[in-house]
Structure 1
Amino acid sequence: MATPAGPGSREFQSMSRQDQTLLLFARLMEGGKEDEETVADLGKLTQLLNEDVELVKKGEASVTSVIDGDCVDTIVCYLDMRQPDIVRGRATLCVSAYLKAAGDEGNKKLSEFFHARCQRGTYDDYIVAFCVAATIFPIVPDLTSELFLTEGFLPSLGPLMRRKWKSRKVETACLEMLNAACMHQHCREAVQKYCADWLEEIVDQDPEDAVRTMHAADPDVNVQEGSISMRRHSQHVQNLAAVVLAKLRSNKGPEPKIQSATTSIEDLAKRFTKLLVEDPEHVQSSVEGLAYASLRSKVKEELAHDTETLQRLVKTLESAPPKSPLMYGALSVFVNLTKYQPFETEEQKKLKELKAYANAAGKLQPDPLNDDAHVAERCKRVFAAGITPALVTRSKDGSVASLSLIISIVFSLSVTTGLRGQLAQQGATRLLMAAWAALPEKEDKGRRMAAQALARILISTDPALVFRQTPQSNAVRPLASIITPDPHAETRDLLPTFEALLALTNLASTDDDTRQSIARTAWDDIEEQLFSTNTRVCTAAAELVCNIVQSPEVAMSLFGDGSHKAANRIKVVVALADAEDVKTRSAAGGALASLTAFDVVVRGILAQPRAAKIILDLCRDDEEGLRHRGAVVVRNMVFQEGDVGQQAKAKLRDEGVVAALTECAKKSRSPEVIQLVVQTLEVFA
């Protein structure tokens, strides 16, 4: 029999899309082919199916019309766990493309395949059916959950798993299916109802006792791993069952005071930690199990105080293949250990209490092991285990999902002020800036977390030390992105705004290039925060303005171009110099001390009706720093040349400048302030 033309041949290219599809299925139905050929055929079929979706919209006939039940049987059988990973991976993409192209008809054929295989009831049929279900669960969860919840299906698994003669492959396929099903709430509840008992039996079985019992009954019995001649569950099967149980036990919600299950989540966690440390062969199961077990606070505490396990988890993260389930699982464990409880307003807390009363649950008692003090301690222990270098390395080759987890971990670590300098030394700032830039804009939550973590670190560190090899202007855009409160948040959280302003103020204390970068990138948002009703935010914005106007170019471009906007900005800064808050007055006074070096700005200040009085009030203030700023402003104004200087003298004289400066000198102990006052008074002599 002649081999059908390959996808790359001229004969194949000249065929219609339907004929190409049939030819590919004919090739896939052949036996004895090399994996590379199978992968190539599956790839070409996937391409045809993906293109089909768009072509059908344009009025062309769909290639799915020629795909019958036997064809579907062919491609889904390549999802069998006994196939090479590369073939299974390409088959997964192919099945996904088929289901998208075929719609309801594809769902119907897949459902028929699943039910037919389960009804045959051979070990081989069970393996294929379970593998297919496990693979397509994330692709079509609604369809798969419907198949999974078919009446009688789940109850039938218990007798299958309790058979005297075990098939490791059947059991593995079954448990991988249950593992995937637990992502769906209704399926998880059904697994809890029908499967929890025999899952516990598998986990609790002592393999050595089972073997001894077999040999006692028949000394000549031949026990082969993975064979149906076994009467015991394999170690791998036990681990998978433990992972499924962990998912059942770790459901979100209050932790039960009394654990009715034989195997508690704490027991499972101990099993996983032991596997991780003692049995590298089962690292995937142990890490996946810990990722779910560590959702519980007691497990978090035990893990955090287990230095050996933490260090092993870090090493596992370092050595895991990029974008692998193992890498994602290890990151998930660290996210669980370090995550703080979300901030709640008083109103939200009261609403939660009312809901609890309505549910007859009484007043909700927060878990003490999840309070900020416990989380902070866990963060310190995770940091001490060496997590930061591992995160820096893995951030370079991770997926969007894993990058989001990395950001979450660094975000939590950055809460602890004492860790911020060390985080910077170990590369966390570069990680966060790169992650912010790498994440798509739709990943707004992850980008905001990265920016806020960066802000926290830059508040507490010297920019000159952090940015030895990286331009510090690279940090401006991420920081600027969180000045405006999150528009999608249920509650208005001003902490990111406040921290971003503080970090930018720190950066603006360094050089003119950075000040100019901040002004170009973020001025509109900074200016908006000057009007904030939150005193701390308003003060932080004023302090940032004070720092960025140290750049003559920024000062002139924003306040000295003679425009209406510049006049309004001068008016705002003058008004802030009269604020009730001392720090706000000080920041505004500092800004005026820099701005009054320019005659055009002084002219704008003189145009404000109360400006002279406000400035002299600074000279009379009880705070030495404020008196210093006021004295500088007055000196700058009266020493201006020409008519601007004359107008300044006249305005200030009318407001009692001599008396104000005399009072300033009497209150001050600083020689610098006294010298400024004496120089200025000479002008009015």
Structure 2
Amino acid sequence: MAPTAETLPHGSESSEFSERQDQTLLLLARLMEGGQEDDETVKDLNQLTKLLGDDVEAVKKGEPSITQVIDSDCVDTLVGYLDLRQSEIVQGRATLCTSAYLKAAGEDGNKKLAEFFHDRVRKGTYDDYIVAFCVAASIFPFVPDLTSELFLSEGFLASLGPLMRRKWKSRKVETACLEMLNAACMQPLCREAVQKYCTEWLEEIVDHDPEDDVKAMYTANPDHTIQEGSIMMRRHSEQVQNLAAVVLAKLRVSQPSKPPGDTSEPRIQQATTSIEDLSKMFTKMFLTNPEHMSQSSIEGLAYASLRSTVKEDLAKNKDFLKSLVKTLEAAPPKSPLTYGALSILVNLTRYQPVQSEEEKKMSQLRAYANAAGKLQPDPLNDNDHVTERCKRVFEAGVTPVLVSHSKNGSVASLGLIIAVIYSLSMTVTLRGQLAQQGAVRLLIAAWQALPAETEPAARRIAAQALARILISTNPTLVFGGTRPTPQSHAIRPLASIIPPDPNAETRDLLPTFEALMALTNLASTDDDTRKSIVRLAWSDIEEMLLSSNPRITTAAVELICNIVQSPAEAASLYADGTQKAKDRLRVLVALADAEDAKTRSAAGGALASLTGYEAVVRAIADRERSVECVLSLCRDENDDLRHRGAFIAHNMVSTPGDTGKLAKEALKKAGAVETLTDCAKKSRRAEVVQVAIEALKLLIEQ
């Protein structure tokens, strides 16, 4: 029954509220009348969705809800547009509208929807089943608790077997039922129930051979004239078989796989379709009939490719990889097909997370506790196998397609794109080609586009992938070309991963190290870049100098060595005569005497530049310990380090005025004459000998 003016609540509603009620009644009346063109139906559904959305805010302000005029007949009409026999655009808008209604109506809306579902299932006609199943499939994602309750109601799942095993098939009923099961498998309790009640007949559908029907009819009546229509009505369609296979794939993947090396078999085995068999079925359908079967095949493979054996088979199939990339290239942005194809690529290229020593020990203890020590890492998921799969995916030409999709993709698909590039960037030999094909621009744009509040993990992955590529490539080539991206745009993402991840349970220093290395490479280019690095990242860089990890300290000092090649940055950070500059210099000088040779080398290189400033020379000469650190470089066994030490000493003694005299006195007092003499004698390289002798001459001259 259509809503009427008599159904409106009485009282002193505002004119605005009355107007919203009238609009709701009018829209529902048109939708209940039906017979409209799709574009008119879509327009009405959109308007009703907006009214319901606005109603939620109005109720918060104390106004009555317009949902009180939406009775059970209206709900039946609204969810009826979720029927798979409607066009896709109508179904999509009806889904949004139903979601808005359930949010606005609350418990009353849930009650009306439950009544609708149980009533249609109880009637049991094909039409009623189709609508009920379509509604359940559509609303599962946004009201999973309600739909699970309907789905798990007593006797419902058990009744599906006889329905699907009927001699005469309704493909629409079968399709709607399988779409519902497909959506339900996203919820663990529902998936367990499907596993218990539906696996057997799902297997029958997948294994069904229509030729058997023909043979059976001939056997029963050899003289019978077989009509194609009657056979078709007794067989499952290819689409239905594929959908059943997708549901089975979700069930198989949720079950634990057999540990590597475990050859034990149960005494009584049930004939089942393995995940590998399903994968081959999906792959065959995808390659032979991509236009009609790509969506369900892709969805099935997105789940099947979680298994390592399936990953290996798919990665070794060049035809499949090329077709997958081609399908992704043609897929509409933000579509299920795009998301499914990207999910497969993520599964094929994903590396196992790096575990700390403590995490490895805990995993081993759990393995012994849970599986008597039989649980071992899957060898097909080790780094060597994943690297090989990454190379094959890259060779299929995926990068330009990912770059194209990243420009119009959803946040979810952008996260998957970043994950694939992140994995590909693990292979050093691919980094230059990734940069050439646009991965750097992709990662910078993705980092800027992703919301920091809701997508911190994806942003860190994007920044780390960017760091890896920039470590191994020439910045002038990466940021050049006809449409150059300013390299300063890369600094903020890199700076964001210098501090450890605040949301991580364990501290991972690899992103910090890679960010420092990438910034060091950028800092080798020009003064503008060095200035931007200091402006955006200096406090974090300075903190890393005191890291307990020597590799992090070394990377930070190497970056500073490149930064101080800029006169402006060197002067402002270390040579302005302030106490802060002196404290910074003291840390740098101390690192010139560190245990790690690379750290000493980087600190020595920085001091070789900084001792061109009088304030720096005076600060070093004023501290006996600092002078000793400089001379320790001159005594080093490594020629490169002796060269740095001799160069620093030369800069100090050649400083004019009182500062130069102070430096000479301090160096002499510390034994510089003997040290520089030994440095010149021990060195085999002419440039080291020359700078040591020149420093010695300046030191001893009156």
1:124 & 1:221 partners in 2: Cα distance? Answer: 28
1:641–1:37: structure 2 CA closer, same or farther, 3 Å change rule? same
One of 654, 657, 681 as aligned partner of 1:666: 681
Query: Residues 589-628 of structure 1: CA distance to partner in whole angstroms, max 9, x if unpaired?
Result: 1110111111122222233340111101111111111111
Return the match for 1:565 from 565, 577, 580: 580
C-alpha contact 2:148 2:184 (8 A) present in aligned 1: yes
Shift of 1:92: 0.8
Letter in 1 for 2:174: E
Amino acid across the alignment from 2:651 = N
Unaligned runs of 5+ in 2: 6-14
> Is residue 317 from structure 1 mapped to residue 320 from structure 2 by the alignment?
no
- Among 258, 277, 294, the alignment partner of 2:305 is 294
Compared with structure 1, are the counterparts of its residues 228 and 438 closer, same or farther at alpha carbon in structure 2 (3 Å cutoff)? farther
Task: Report if aligned partners of 1:149, 1:187 keep a CA contact under 8 Å in 2.
Answer: yes
Partner of 1:275: 285
Q: Which residue matches 1:632?
A: 647
1:391 maps to which residue?
402
8 Å CA contact retained: 1:64, 1:102:
yes
Aligned residue among 530, 538, 542 for 1:523: 538
Write the deviation string for residues 371-427 of structure 1: whole angstroms up to 9, x where unpaired. 111111111111111111111111112111111111111111111111111111211
CA contact (8 A) 2:249 2:304 kept: yes
- Asked if structure 1 preserves the Cα contact closer than 8 Å seen for 2:624 and 2:666, the reply is no
Q: CA deviation at 1:564?
A: 2.4
C-alpha displacement of 1:15? 4.6
1:255–1:296 CA contact under 8 A, matched in 2: no
Query: Whole-Å Cα distance in 2 between the matches of residues 54 and 608 of structure 1?
Result: 69
Secondary structure in structure 2 of the residue aligned to 1:268: helix
The yes-or-no answer on 1:596 pairing with 2:611 is yes
C-alpha deviation, 1:329, in angstroms = 0.6
Q: State the partner residue of 1:27.
A: 30
Q: Tell me the distance in 2 between the aligned counterparts of 1:616 and 1:252.
A: 66
In 1, Cα distance between the equivalents of 2:621 and 2:599?
A: 21
CA 1:392–1:312 in 2, change beyond 3 Å: closer, same or farther?
same
Counterparts in 2 of 1:7-156, with a 5 A limit? 15-156=18-159
CA shift, 1:354, in A, is 2.1
Aligned residues: 676
Deviations 1:185-224 (A, max 9, x none): 1111111110011001000011233345457767555544
* Distance change (3 Å), C-alpha of 1:234 and 1:216: farther
Match of 2:557? Answer: 542
> 3-state DSSP class of the match of 1:488?
coil
- Segment drifting more, 246-255 vs 151-160: 246-255
**CA distance in structure 2 between the aligned counterparts of 1:494 and 1:260, rounded to whole angstroms:** 48
Q: How does 1:455-474 map to 2 (within 5 A)?
A: 455-468=467-480, 469-474=484-489
Residue 461 of structure 2 aligns with an amino acid whose one-letter code is: M
Indicate which of 160, 165, 169 corresponds to 1:162.
165
TM-score, normalisation: structure 2: 0.93
Report the AA paired with residue 308 of structure 1.
D
Aligned-partner Cα distance in 2 for 1:405–1:355:
30
**What is the distance in 1 between the residues matched to 2:558 and 2:255?**
44
Any conservation in 2 of the 1:571–1:608 contact (CA below 8 Å)?
Answer: no
Residue 436 of structure 2 is aligned with which of 404, 425, 428? 425
What residue in structure 2 maps to residue 481 of structure 1? 496
1:601-612 map, 5 Å: 601-612=616-627
How many angstroms does 1:437 deviate by? 1.1
Letter matched to residue 466 of structure 2: L
2:416 paired residue number? 405
Give the stretch that moved more between structures: 322-331 or 254-263. Answer: 254-263
Counterpart of 1:192, as a letter, is Q
Q: Over aligned residue pairs, what C-alpha RMSD do you find?
A: 2.0
Q: How does 1:193-232 map to 2 (within 5 A)?
A: 193-211=196-214, 213-214=216-217, 219-220=224-225, 222-224=227-229, 230-232=233-235
Contact preservation (8 Å) 2:646, 2:691:
yes
**Contact 2:49 2:100 (8 Å CA) reproduced:** yes
Distance across 2 between alignment mates of 1:475 and 1:230: 61
Q: Which moved more, 1:556-565 or 1:292-301?
A: 556-565
Structure 1 pair 662/416, CA: closer, same or farther in 2 (3 Å)? same
Q: Which residue number in structure 1 is paired with residue 10 of structure 2?
A: none
Q: Secondary structure at the match of 1:292?
A: helix
1:334 and 2:337 correspond: no
The amino acid across from 1:590 in the alignment is: G
TM-score, scaled relative to structure 1: 0.96
Q: What residue is the counterpart of 2:455 in the other structure?
A: 443
Question: Is residue 620 of structure 2 the alignment partner of residue 587 of structure 1?
Answer: no
Tell me whether 428-437 or 195-204 shows the greater mean CA deviation. 428-437
> Are the aligned partners of 1:196 and 1:245 in contact in 2 as well (CA < 8 Å)?
yes
2:271 maps to 1:265: no
Describe the SS at the equivalent of 1:322: coil
Tell me the alpha carbon deviations over residues 110-146 of structure 1, each in whole angstroms, 9 at most, x when there is no partner: 1111111100000000000000000000011111111
Give yes or no for the alignment of 1:618 onto 2:629: no
Aligned partners of 1:409, 1:212: CA distance in 2, in Å?
49
Cα 1:575–1:252 change in 2 (3 A) is farther
Identical residues among aligned pairs (%)? 69
Q: Which amino acid aligns with 1:205?
A: H
Distance 2:220 2:557 in 1: 85
Structure 2 distance, partners of 1:255, 1:314, is 31
- Is the Cα contact below 8 Å between 2:431 and 2:468 reproduced in 1? yes
CA distance in 1, matches of 2:420, 2:567: 40
The answer (yes or no) to whether the contact 2:213–2:231 under 8 Å persists in 1 is no
Contact conserved, 1:483 with 1:497, CA < 8 A, in 2? yes
Out of 181, 187, 191, the position equivalent to 1:188 is 191
Task: Write the distance in 2 (CA, Å) between the matches of 1:188 and 1:566.
Answer: 64
The Cα shift of 1:260 comes to 4.6
